[in-house]
């Protein structure tokens, strides 16, 4: 496991997750697969930004649980979920238009 810090939350790379997977568990940690792309870390940080705006209960009710359900049961369409696109949009706003997460083909915002 390796650890990096984005402002306000630790990001831990772990072999517990499959390639391409990440999960934001604010305010505690963001977990991503070992060797995760910067874009995935930025996307998960977008969820942390959602949490900062919504607070604990609202985040888990409006974002966390629906996202977990979508990822578990509809993985091929998970990236199209409104809260996932919103996380991408927030990440692009935070990191800038030249950030890896700004690639709209891979990380849709609309």
Annotated domain spans of the chain:
2-102
What pLDDT is attached to residue 4?
64
SS3 2: strand
CA distance 40 to 46: 10
Per-residue tokens: 32:
């991503």
pTM given for the model: 0.93
pLDDT in tens, the chain (110 residues): 445 668 999 999 999 999 999 999 999 999 999 999 999 999 999 999 999 999 999 999 999 999 999 999 999 999 999 999 999 999 999 999 999 999 988 788 88
Q: CB neighbours of 14 closer than 8 A, spacing ≥ 6?
A: 1, 31, 32, 33, 34
What pLDDT is attached to residue 107?
82
Look at residues 58, 47, 57 and name the one whose alpha carbon lies nearest to residue 89: 47
């Amino acid at each position: 496991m390796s650890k990096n810090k984005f402002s306000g939350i630790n990001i831990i790379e772990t072999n517990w997750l499959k390639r391409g997977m990440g999960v934001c568990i604010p305010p505690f940690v963001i977990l991503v697969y070992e060797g995760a792309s910067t874009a995935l870390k930025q996307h998960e940080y977008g969820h942390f930004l959602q949490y900062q705006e919504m607070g604990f209960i609202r985040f888990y009710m409006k974002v966390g649980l629906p996202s977990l359900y979508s990822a578990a049961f509809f993985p091929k369409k998970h990236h199209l979920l409104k809260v996932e696109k919103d996380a991408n949009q927030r990440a692009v706003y935070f990191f800038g238009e030249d950030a890896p997460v700004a690639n709209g083909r891979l990380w849709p915002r609309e």
